[in-house]
Amino acid sequence: MATSFEVTLSMVVNKAYLWLEKYANKLENSQLVLAKIQFELEAVGVGFEEECWLDILEYIDTKSEGWEDVKAAWQKVKTSRRLTEDLRAWCLLQAWAYRMMNPVIMFSAMEMMFSNCFILDEWINIFDPMTAVWEASEEESDFIPKVLELFEEAVEHQGLSLPRPHVRKFIHYFELIEVTKPNGNDLCPFDFGVIDQMKLVQDDDSTRASPSEALQRCKADIIRLDSPSPGPLQQKTGIIQRSPTPMPGPLKKRRRDAGEWSIAESLKAPHKRRKHIPHHPASCFLDLSAFDEDKDKDEGENGDNDGEGADDSDLAISGPSETQEVVRGGRAAFASCLDDICHQYEENADHDAPHRSPHHSQSALNSGPTIRVYKLNILLESSVEYIQAALAYKHLKVTPGFCHSLYVEAWSPHAITSTIPLSHRSLVQSINHVPAKDIVVLYSPHEDFAFSFWVRIIHGPYKNDVGYVLLHNGDKVEILLAPRERPYDNDHGRRLLFDIEAAHRAGCSVEGTLDTGVVTCGCLIYQQGLLRWSFVKQILEVVEVPHPNDLAFHHLAGINPPLIQ
């Protein structure tokens, strides 16, 4: 039996408090509450200490005033220290000072983690001096010493001690060029989290270059795809390396050995490269026959240029172990076609698809990716707006939905997940494809409803029925219409006014008064015999001049006689 408990500052998370309150009110069991608390703590980067939370739950169960004591201790810890004295908040600011985090993301994370404890004005006075120094600085390095000095002074002013972060993986390889020369057995670049993009050191000292010279050289680098004599590091890792010495002259006039070519030329003129295309490619989904039409022409043009005077756009590929190159965009086209096959199986739209050979899908591969609409179900309501902004920043069309959901236009689910920041990908519960019939409803014209409006329902059991708008709240519109179902009879589908006497004879419970004309029966609200129901705005359209037959029951009920006449 727990006789005491402890509430630490790291445990004070608002969402965790809500689950404790549910447990104290006997609404949830302990196993579910612990799982939910662990999830909420991990969502804001706080460790979960199970023993401490078990002591709190046991104290609530065993003490008569247990929940009141827990609430008092919780509020005491929450208000005892300011957020500027919390090391977790300073770790976020330190990440920005070392250029490991965007300032917008930093403040969003603080607001998510600390909620009401986060006061922006307290941090603006600390953040603004460092921002001013950063903007006024002309240094090219990511780490400005003056900014780091201001940060250290701010930490010392609060009487805190914060270790330096591990930022070696953020060092640019331009700085590495000035310090070391990589060799064949040196694995130091992997310790820094970067790829060794410099060629193995030869007898020259060309690697001793300034950052600006190195930047110019990297723009003109040549990727060596098929080196005849790879070094030990290449043999172990298979990493593509760059040549450190730029070759003079325009990019199109450079000389290259067999197996060397330029990325710029491969993107500008893929039809000029001579390839060996096998008749049966390794993957049945990759149709490389598009290169065959220019093969004979290229051989005729380049036949006289063999030897030393061969044209530099030739690429001789031979040998059974060499892989074929897929032109840019092939992976996206393949993913789109794979999605098409999956959707055909799901929707049973094309029964002949399993009997067709994938090799004959050249038109589908060349047609480009198909834009579809996907529904994202997001776990936390507080993350919906941030994920929507991140998707819109990547030029994806986003439409807000209900119950923490978003509708996104994209090529595939992978295109959506790759756009969402890593910190929020785990909050996306599911991504579902939206059928075509629902897309029509989703993108139907959204009317700006006002009072004294007649609307027509375009989807659902009351399709084509006309109702009278009572009020609207956001995307919800409350209207009056003739009911097609009543609790006291089985005549479904027929429009009739609700009869209170018939409901009493059938033994139905009716609550309300006849004076107001508003009664409740079977969880349904009726007003003057008409059904009062809420619909989403997307399935309604405004009717300027309704047909008299559609308003017959409203006329009998006495709803808005001037408009009916």
The domain that holds 378 is classified in CATH as 3.30.70
Give the tokens for residue 520. 């409740």
Question: What b/e string do you get for 96-108 counting C-beta neighbours within 10 Å, with b at 16 or more?
Answer: bbbebbeeebbbb
Residue with tokens 């739209």: 349
- What is the per-residue pLDDT across 285-342, written as a single tens digit (0 to 9) for each? 444 444 454 555 555 555 544 444 444 444 444 444 444 444 445 666 777 777 777 6
Give residue 32's domain range.
9-80
* 255 within a domain of the structure (yes/no): no
Among the listed residues 193, 198, 188, the one whose alpha carbon sits nearest the alpha carbon of residue 231: 198
* 459 within a domain of the structure (yes/no): yes
State whether 508 and 522 are in the same domain.
Answer: yes
* 242 within a domain of the structure (yes/no): no
d(CA 254, CA 51): 68
- Compute the residue count for the chain: 565
State whether 69 and 156 are in the same domain.
Answer: no
pLDDT of residue 329: 56
pLDDT of residue 383: 84
| DSSP class of 327 | P
Task: Give the SS3 label for residue 11.
Answer: helix
Q: How far lies 67's CA from each of 15, 61, 409, in Å?
A: 16, 8, 47
* 498 within a domain of the structure (yes/no): yes
pLDDT of residue 13: 80
Residue with tokens 């300034």: 210
pLDDT of residue 419: 87
d(CA 350, CA 368): 20
State whether 342 and 388 are in the same domain.
Answer: no
State whether 412 and 336 are in the same domain.
Answer: no
DSSP of 413-458: HHHHHTTS-HHHHTTEEEEEEPPHHHHHHHTS------SS-EEEE-
Q: How far lies 439's CA from each of 209, 238, 408, 540, in Å?
A: 57, 47, 11, 15
d(CA 115, CA 18): 14
Question: What b/e string do you get for 372-406 counting C-beta neighbours within 10 Å, with b at 16 or more?
Answer: bbbbbebbbebbbebbbebbeeeebebeebeebbb
* 2 within a domain of the structure (yes/no): no
pLDDT < 50 stretches in the chain: 167-291, 293, 304-328, 349-368, 445-451, 561-565
* 247 within a domain of the structure (yes/no): no
d(CA 342, CA 346): 6
Domain count, the chain: 5
Strand partners, 473: 476
pLDDT of residue 441: 60
| DSSP class of 324 | P
Last residue of a domain, one of 149, 169, 189: 169
* 340 within a domain of the structure (yes/no): yes
- What is the per-residue pLDDT across 35-74, written as a single tens digit (0 to 9) for each? 889 888 887 767 888 888 988 888 888 888 888 888 888 8
Helix (H) or strand (E) holding 471: strand 466-473
State whether 437 and 478 are in the same domain.
Answer: no
End-to-end CA distance of the chain: 75
Work out the burial of residue 176: count CB atoms within 10 Å of its CB; fewer than 13 is exposed, 13-18 middle, 19 or more buried: buried
- Per DSSP, helices labelled H in 158-287 are 173-179, 188-191, 211-219, 232-237, 263-268
State whether 528 and 458 are in the same domain.
Answer: yes
Q: Which residues contact 59 (CB under 8 A, 6 or more apart)?
A: 2, 3, 4, 5, 66, 69, 70
CB 469 within 8 A of CB 412: no
Q: Which residues contact 111 (CB under 8 A, 6 or more apart)?
A: 118
Last residue of a domain, one of 442, 467, 498: 442
